[in-house]
Structure 1
Amino acid sequence: MILDLLKTQKLKPASNSRRVSVLKAVSWRLVGTIDTMIISYILTGNIRIAVGIGSIEVVSKMVLYYLHERAWLRITKNK
């Protein structure tokens, strides 16, 4: 789905596109959040707590990833 969106859109190269950075952040957070929920469930044995932890974590880490990605692009663009 994400690859299809990228193919149909005339996007800038991945290293410069804000849209691609957002799509990468979303897809990575899905993987990361599932991992966090599984680990939380293993540690607590409670699915509600695991989903709660995953819900908070998904938003905070998606924002942090996007900011991290954009910072690295700025740093490497000037070199």
Structure 2
Amino acid sequence: MLIPERHKVYTDAVLDYAIPGKGILRSMAKTCTWRILASTDTFLAGYFILPWILPLLGFEPVEPNVALAGGIAIFEIVSKMFLYFFHERAWAHVGEHRYPAKKRRVRINCRNCGTVNSKTVTESEKDA
């Protein structure tokens, strides 16, 4: 399909959203998958780790309180930083091979030709 020249600017802006790493759909997918991963981490920390760790640290497994919530928060800060880093690295490879690299288009117009001509004339004047 041939696109008239006056519409190419708008078309290029729309096509930018199809590039990996950009666009609302990709951001939404990353947000959802990250939230699932982070929530699973919180569940596993509360279900498996705290009943084993608290007695080792001298605490009795009791009803949730401020100390327990603080322990969960500290654990999550450290663990989710590492998890999010690897999550981002995995997303960096999604769609990497599906889309070709965007080629840069150079438009040649009178200004480009004039610059080349004047540069050539200037250089030839120096040689003379």
When normalised by structure 1's length, the TM-score is: 0.48
Bigger radius of gyration among the two: 2
Larger proportion of helix: 1
TM-score where L is the length of structure 2: 0.35
